[in-house]
Amino acid sequence: MVLSAADQIEERIKRIPESHSVKIVDLSISPKHLLFFIYDLTSVIYPASISMINYYVSAIVPSLAASAINVPTLVGLAVAMGLLRSVTRKNHHSSEVFYAPVDTNRIGRPFHHSRLLYLEARRAEHSSVLLATPQAKAILDEFREAA
């Protein structure tokens, strides 16, 4: 039965359009691409607060200020999709939420064009600075314990 339908199956498979990469000139016009960019960014700078993510995204995508896209909403969506996880750090008077990728080993497979990026090196540079700062090291330790 399957062999008799092989020609039809092959014809249908040929009709499936080939996938291709899409070049996005401005991330502020594509919430989907911005979401995955935020994931890649957070993979490098984690643990990252909303204000840190907002700072970097605003600096990298200045046109975002004129857009209706809300970075905290996209971070929340990334958490809901299982891409990012959050850890709440409480101190004496307040608390702050920090975000990190759920799968820290995925940094070698960014959502954006990997030929132009070497996120492992960027993460290593960033981590060396974080580990030299006692407050940042404490937050990194909390993330390790929460994992």
- Model confidence pLDDT, tens digit, residues 64-112: 888 888 999 999 999 999 999 998 888 778 888 999 998 877 666 666 6
Rounded mean pLDDT of the chain?
82
**Who has greater pLDDT, 131 or 52?**
52
With bands split at pLDDT 50, 70 and 90, how would you rate the model's confidence at 13?
confident
CB 95 within 8 A of CB 89: yes
> For 37-61, how does the pLDDT look when each residue is reduced to its tens digit (9 = 90+)?
899 889 888 889 999 999 989 888 8
**Who has greater pLDDT, 95 or 23?**
95
Class of domain 26-101+111-146: mainly alpha
Dihedral (Cα; 41, 128, 135, 47), 10-degree rounding? 20
| Rounded Cα–Cα distance for residues 108 and 102 (Å) | 14
What's the pLDDT score for residue 109?
Answer: 63
What's the pLDDT score for residue 110?
Answer: 61
**Who has greater pLDDT, 52 or 19?**
52
* Residue matched to tokens 């199956």: 9
